[in-house]
Structure 1
Amino acid sequence: MVVVNGIDLHIAECGDGPLVVLLHGFPEAWHSWRHQIPALAAAGYHVVAPDLRGYGRSAAPERIEEFTIFDLVGDVIGLVDVLGYGEVIVMGHDWGAAVAWGSALLRPDLVRAVVGLSVPPNSSLLPIRRLELPPIEQYRRDRGDYFYMVMFQEPGMAEQFLGVDVDAGLRATFVSASTRAQVGTDLTDDAEITDGAFALPDWLPADDFARYVETFTDNGFRGPLNWYRNIDRNWRLLAPWDGATIDQPSLYVVGEYDNVHEFFEVPKTLDELRSVAPGARDLVVIPDCSHWTQQEQPEAVTSALLAFLSGVEQEITINKEKS
């Protein structure tokens, strides 16, 4: 446990060397990086994966306004300081990707490289190419009141719905965004129903799933849902960065069948990615993979991360030799 920006954050850490911070998504926890933590540590990095603000054993402030992108990025930067480092490589998945890209955008002096999984550098979660309307207003107009991000806006309602049966709610979430469900296979074929519940996908063993159930049973969904309740507020707060670019070395990784392709303008080419992130080194599409990228295809994702890190270190060495 560490104290960052006046709140307690729970972290998992492993290894020694340059700092790499791994940021999870919704509805997950630090445990979503269980496959990558030892591999990155073995490659010579000090790897730190926090339960982010509102999640797991970390604190969940009471006010909705304490979950803005500034607060979330502030936790990353504060964590770097608490750990005694002057620079960091930030990697994130889903909402964690938005915070990783945001950390690079807002603190280019501290973030020396960035990786985003699933969520691209410009999205409704980090709108640095502003749309005419605030994102939730636009989603309500285009997708209706039953789109999940719209439904999450009303405090209390989503908490009650998701908290009635945490096991069932998490099963449905993980299964519905898993690979075969995204490629047109009937959901009941993708995950066999046993005793009235979806069977877990192969990539999520029962013991690992139980950790998620325990986390959200103990702590509820209020904190994580408050991230969504700041989407329009973030749109306003980031107005000064409209049109800005993320210039550090970066990598974008997305699953072939990730449902973010429906929600966000996912770049299809490296040139498209570089229009927002000129420092992008690669755009990696993971075959036979949907939204739960680093858990579904851990070996492919870990390989991409290690290749990116190796390239970044080589560039740093070359630049030092030139200077």
Structure 2
Amino acid sequence: MTEITHRHVQSTSGLRMHVAEAGTGPLVLLLHGFPECWYSWRHQLVALAEAGYHAVAPDQRGYARTGGPSRVDDYTILHLVGDAVGLIDALGEEQAVVVGHDWGAPVAWATAQLRPDRVRGVVGMSVPHRPRSSRPPVAAMREQLGEGFYMVYFQQPDVPEAEFDRDRAATFRRLLYAASGDGPALAPIVPDGGGFLDFCPEPAELPGWLTEDDIAAFVREYEDAGFTGPLNWYRNLDRNWELTAAWHRAPITPPALYIAGDRDLVVAAPGARDIVAGMNAFVPGLRDTVWLPGCGHWTQQERPDEVNQAMIEFLGAL
């Protein structure tokens, strides 16, 4: 059986990154989302290796075994793209196919947008490419969705991480279940005086794709770094808007694939389906959009076989 190995790699961005990897061949970089780590790609690492690729899943900046700096300002989209490109450098490659899920998807889209010379292809899961908005995003979220919208809630220092740290096993169990296709339809709005997990119920039983061992693995990976680094990504939303003015509505030109579950809360958001339907205007190389019936937010964990097949077919056509 194909083995997943682990090491630390010094990215040319200056960050020492933990990576899980398998296989040899053309490089496929797998970028996880929130609140995840390399373990989210456990099914893809093996499948891609057996299909003839060098699959590499880093713990991104601030996460798990990589960790990261303490300053909030050091978690901008330019830092994150720099880490991805720097990892391609450190692995001795000129190009990679960059795959991202959840927060990893905007990093993948931005890497393809800012450095198309380094990207053979790009795969976004759950989060479609959204063109840069006409004004800073956090104020717009407050106006449209209120102070309780989870991304606004995450702007507070210390409060969200204190909630998530209180019982990390419960945090992962409730969040992974609640946002999945097996969970209830979620409105990610924190109630007045409450917390994020208040809209994430305890499951009566775990869905078939998620085990207690999986939850224990996430808890173990978060043991040292915790949640502050991951939450700092959200605390740079307005700063990212400022820093990317030079790429306002710039197209993403490498070949692209988009995969999402039809029960994903991201695509249930107002206007999200229209953004997916119109992505070709800003992602002219988009080759396919794959919808996974009954799948929620944790795309590659909930539907590993379908995701692996779609990715391998896309890779084979490059």
* TM-score in terms of structure 1 length: 0.88
Matches within 5 A, 1:6-85: 6-85=14-93
> 2:231 & 2:300 partners in 1: Cα distance?
22
For this pair of structures, how many residues does the alignment match? Answer: 298
Aligned-pair identity (%): 48
Indicate the residue corresponding to 1:125 in structure 2: none
Secondary structure, counterpart of 1:281 in structure 2: strand
> 1:264 & 1:217 partners in 2: Cα distance?
36
Q: Tell me, yes or no, if the aligned pair for 1:19 and 1:87 is still in contact at 8 Å.
A: yes
Indicate the residue corresponding to 1:321 in structure 2: none
Match of 1:161 among 155, 160, 163: 163
- List runs of 5+ in structure 1 lacking aligned partners: 123-127, 193-198, 313-323
Q: C-alpha displacement at 1:270, in angstroms?
A: 7.4
Match of 1:202 among 204, 208, 212: 208
Tell me which amino acid in the other structure corresponds to 1:211: A
Indicate the residue corresponding to 2:194 in structure 1: none
Matches within 5 A, 1:282-301: 282-301=288-307
Indicate the residue corresponding to 2:234 in structure 1: 228
Secondary structure, counterpart of 1:116 in structure 2: strand
Indicate the residue corresponding to 1:130 in structure 2: 133
Change (3 A) 1:141 1:183: closer
Q: Tell me, yes or no, if the aligned pair for 1:90 and 1:111 is still in contact at 8 Å.
A: yes
> 2:248 & 2:200 partners in 1: Cα distance?
43
Indicate the residue corresponding to 1:191 in structure 2: 203
- List runs of 5+ in structure 2 lacking aligned partners: 1-7, 187-198
Answer yes or no: is 1:99 the counterpart of 2:110.
no
Which consecutive segments of 4 or more residues in structure 1 shift more than 6 A? 187-190
Q: C-alpha displacement at 1:145, in angstroms?
A: 0.9
> 2:275 & 2:153 partners in 1: Cα distance?
32
Indicate the residue corresponding to 1:320 in structure 2: none
Secondary structure, counterpart of 1:218 in structure 2: coil
The RMSD of aligned alpha carbons is 1.9
Change (3 A) 1:269 1:235: closer
Q: C-alpha displacement at 1:268, in angstroms?
A: 5.2
Answer yes or no: is 1:272 the counterpart of 2:272.
no
Q: C-alpha displacement at 1:265, in angstroms?
A: 4.1
Change (3 A) 1:279 1:204: same
Indicate the residue corresponding to 1:306 in structure 2: 312
Q: C-alpha displacement at 1:218, in angstroms?
A: 2.8
> 1:165 & 1:88 partners in 2: Cα distance?
37
Q: C-alpha displacement at 1:210, in angstroms?
A: 0.5
Q: Tell me, yes or no, if the aligned pair for 1:182 and 1:258 is still in contact at 8 Å.
A: no
Secondary structure, counterpart of 2:183 in structure 1: helix
Indicate the residue corresponding to 1:217 in structure 2: 223
Q: C-alpha displacement at 1:271, in angstroms?
A: 5.8
Change (3 A) 1:134 1:262: farther
Tell me which amino acid in the other structure corresponds to 2:203: A
Change (3 A) 1:267 1:188: closer
Secondary structure, counterpart of 2:223 in structure 1: helix
Tell me which amino acid in the other structure corresponds to 1:37: L
Secondary structure, counterpart of 1:180 in structure 2: coil
Tell me which amino acid in the other structure corresponds to 1:202: G
* TM-score in terms of structure 2 length: 0.89
Q: C-alpha displacement at 1:189, in angstroms?
A: 9.4
Change (3 A) 1:159 1:183: closer
Secondary structure, counterpart of 1:85 in structure 2: coil
Tell me which amino acid in the other structure corresponds to 2:9: V
